[in-house]
């Protein structure tokens, strides 16, 4: 009887520790202090926005270079917008020319799930919460395959703000 009880407790303990896909969280690497606070706050805000039907329509607004909508790409992956967002990897970037020489807040390449976040992001995201959230959703669209130029970066962010406000 004791062995059965101990085995049951062990199994229940292991199952309680297993994270389901819906419980996954984005990975945040190498942020500290106010930068960490800003990125975590923006991640929470982006996830809240992605839960709304209006924001989810955003994925029908844009297509990848092959002409597939980002909604189709999500369906192919078997993911909701929030599930896909939770699979992103946000890393601090203080050295690339993109972060050093321009007003870039964050960047990635189409189809890549690593989002590089520049030092300027934290101050902008703290001053304008909606813009910080929209920046992370903007980068998520690139991770789903959206290119840039066309559409222009400002047009992407404008549409994110319009759909996900």
Instruction: Write out pLDDT tens, residues 42-82.
Output: 999 999 999 999 999 999 999 999 999 999 999 999 999 99
Is residue 12 over pLDDT 50? no
Is residue 13 over pLDDT 60? no
Residue 73, SS3?
Answer: helix
Give the per-residue SS3 of 112-127.
CCEEEECCHHHHHHHH
Give the confidence band of 23 by pLDDT, cuts at 50, 70, 90.
low
* Within-domain flag for 110: yes
* Within-domain flag for 4: no
Domain of 143? 25-163
First to last CA, the chain: 57
CATH number reported for the structural domain that contains residue 102 in this entry: 3.40.390.10
Instruction: Write out pLDDT tens, residues 128-143.
Output: 999 999 999 999 999 9
For the whole model, what pTM was predicted? 0.85
* Within-domain flag for 18: no
Looking at the structure of the chain, the number of domains it has is: 1
- Cis peptide bond prior to 62, omega within 30° of 0: no
* Within-domain flag for 158: yes
Chain-wide mean pLDDT for the chain?
A: 88
Q: What mean pLDDT comes out for the span 11-37? A: 68
Structure-token pair, residue 20: 């389901």
Instruction: Write out pLDDT tens, residues 70-123.
Output: 999 999 999 999 999 999 999 999 999 999 977 899 999 999 999 999 999 999
């Amino acid at each position: 009887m004791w062995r059965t009880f101990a085995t049951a407790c062990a199994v229940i303990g292991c199952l309680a520790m297993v994270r389901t896909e819906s419980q996954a969280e984005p990975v945040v690497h190498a942020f500290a202090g106010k930068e960490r606070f800003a990125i975590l706050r923006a991640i929470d805000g982006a996830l809240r926005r992605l839960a709304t039907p209006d924001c989810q329509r955003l994925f029908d607004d844009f297509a990848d270079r092959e002409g597939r909508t980002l909604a189709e790409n999500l369906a192919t992956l078997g993911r909701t917008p929030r599930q896909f967002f939770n699979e992103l990897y946000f890393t601090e970037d203080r050295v690339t020319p993109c972060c050093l020489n321009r007003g870039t807040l964050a960047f990635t390449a189409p189809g890549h799930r690593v989002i590089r976040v520049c030092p300027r992001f934290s101050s902008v995201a703290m001053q304008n919460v909606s813009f910080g959230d929209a920046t992370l959703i903007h980068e998520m669209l690139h991770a789903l395959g959206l290119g840039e130029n066309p559409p222009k970066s400002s047009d992407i962010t404008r549409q994110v703000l319009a759909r996900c406000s």
